[in-house]
Amino acid sequence: MSERIPVRTVETFEPSRPKMKVKTSDNLIHTRSFTGLFRNLRITGAGFLFLLFFGTVWLNWGGRQAVLWDLSESKFHIFGATFWPQDFILLSALLIIAAFGLFAITVFAGRVWCGYTCPQSSWTWIFMWCEKITEGERNQRIKLQASPWGLNKLMRRSAKHTLWLAISLLTGLTFVGYFTPIRPLAEELLTLQMGGVSLFWVLFFTGATYINAGWLREAVCMHMCPYARFQSVMFDKDTLTISYDVARGENRGPRKREVKPAEVGLGDCIDCQLCVQVCPTGIDIRDGLQMECIGCAACIDACDSIMDKMGYAPGLISYTSERQLQGGKTHLLRPRLVGYTAVLLVMIAALVVALVERPMVSLDVSKDRGLFRENSQGQIENIYSLKVINKTQQRQDYQLSLVDAGDFELRGKTALSLAPGEIVGVPVSVAMLTERPASSSQSLSFKVMDSDEPGIYSVAQSRFVAPMNR
């Protein structure tokens, strides 16, 4: 006789209250203006990042653009340092560090990257500000959207899109300016002489900024960004997320300021809907943590302003953890966070060491396609092509040699003088001084060394091929 599946009683819940309609009839989210601590923090942080992005590209260093990824020369200048394709492993390390940094901050405080520093969010806030100064506050924009086309609507919409396009063009020009010198690029744009590849990429990033920040907005965060999908995997009960205190806020409902909530059976939430109206993704945080929440804390600022007017304590919506909402105490130090932080610090230290110890001369060796040849002295020779790169900002003298030469001799031009950033190809030969080789294929180590500073050198490996029977 087969076993029966055990049956247990499941508690029934009252149906949740319907969600507020956050989008208007035009299917757009019109946010309301607000002030508060987190808004000021976001403006300060974003302002600093905008200053870095738009300002750094115009700085000069040593007669050239301070930060420039010169694709034509395959060089990346960053102030006094120059990086080459051979140094791209450092870029990979930097990206891995950024990823672990994102993991660590997500475990600690949720999506603060999205709310405060993500370019999509930052540019969207700017475009929303353009809407405010050209079309008015939230209610005015809703009325304008519903009104028929006329001179007033045409002028306001034209002003808004003109600002959007101007900011987008400046963004596109600045971004391309990190790959092509910005000053001649800007001059070509102002004189309408820009063409070819530069024009394509400036227009491409102009269009991408205009569409993403002006039209797509929250759709990028909700449907296109992968971070929204995997963030919940990284959260735990101690992660600080923006949360609504249900125990304190319910039951929600309107009341006069002088009425105490307990006297009428209400919580602190007066159901003013302000937290919904300021949300850039149009969610109601009172429905719980949602994938669409970007952690911008706009709802916290809005709610705190209402709590202040009502004479209630702030923090009905706040950065808190699930454990604290359940009556416990948030554990800031926990294994996952400590692990991410430790790995992050180790990788940062390793990157710093790699940057400090980075050889300022590079050597690449290519063996000639021919296996070997016999010279006039009856010795077996192999031909090689050496490529030497001076990574410093000064002219340097170098010496070529073999490491632990033994039975081999390097022949050809071994003394070099290279200008800053110069790349030189040097053909050399290596002769075997013995008649009988120890093996038909032996390892060789070529070395290029600074003539004045022996501690600056680079070593590259290759093979020496010889016949076994002579």
pTM over 0.85: no
Task: State the chain's mean pLDDT as an integer.
Answer: 90
Q: Are 32 and 138 in contact (CB under 8 A)?
A: yes
182-190 and 151-177 helices cross at what angle (nearest 10)? 150
Determine, yes or no, domain membership for 384: yes
* Cα 363 from Cα 215, distance rounded (Å): 50
Determine, yes or no, domain membership for 305: no
pLDDT in tens, 339-380: 999 999 999 999 999 998 888 899 999 998 878 888 888 899
Among candidate residues 437, 466, 446, 339, the one with its CA nearest the CA of residue 400: 446
pLDDT in tens, 66-107: 999 988 888 899 988 888 887 888 888 999 999 999 999 999
Determine, yes or no, domain membership for 113: no
- Residue that is written with structure tokens 């601590």 in the block: 37
Output phi, psi for 390, to 5 deg: -90, 110
Determine, yes or no, domain membership for 255: no
Residue 292 burial (C-beta neighbours within 10 Å; 0-12, 13-18, 19+) = middle
Q: C-alpha distances in angstroms, 166 versus 9, 24, 127, 161, 199?
A: 63, 28, 11, 8, 16
Determine, yes or no, domain membership for 188: yes
Counting residues of the chain whose pLDDT is more than 70, the rounded percentage is 94
- Residue that is written with structure tokens 């029977």 in the block: 469
Of the three residues 216, 241, 271, the one that is the final residue of a domain is 216
pLDDT in tens, 277-331: 999 999 999 999 888 999 999 999 999 999 999 999 999 999 999 999 999 999 9
* Cα 285 from Cα 275, distance rounded (Å): 7
Which pair of structure tokens corresponds to residue 145? Answer: 């959207």
Q: Which CATH number belongs to the domain containing residue 374 in this structure?
A: 2.60.40.10
DSSP β-ladder status, 81-83 and 241-244: unpaired
Of the three residues 216, 237, 258, the one that is the final residue of a domain is 216
Which pair of structure tokens corresponds to residue 51? Answer: 């200053």
Of the three residues 190, 216, 242, the one that is the final residue of a domain is 216
According to DSSP, residue 166 is labeled: H
Task: Name the helix (H) or strand (E) containing 449.
Answer: strand 441-450
* Cα 85 from Cα 289, distance rounded (Å): 44
Residue 244 burial (C-beta neighbours within 10 Å; 0-12, 13-18, 19+) = buried
Looking at the structure of the chain, the number of domains it has is 2
Determine, yes or no, domain membership for 320: no
Determine, yes or no, domain membership for 167: yes
- Give the residue numbers spanning the domain of 201: 37-83+118-216
Determine, yes or no, domain membership for 338: no
Query: In this structure, what is the dihedral angle of CA atoms 420, 421, 425, 429, given to the nearest 10 degrees?
Result: 60
Q: Which residues pair with 391 in a beta bridge?
A: none
pLDDT at 26 over 70: no
DSSP β-ladder status, 415-418 and 60-61: unpaired
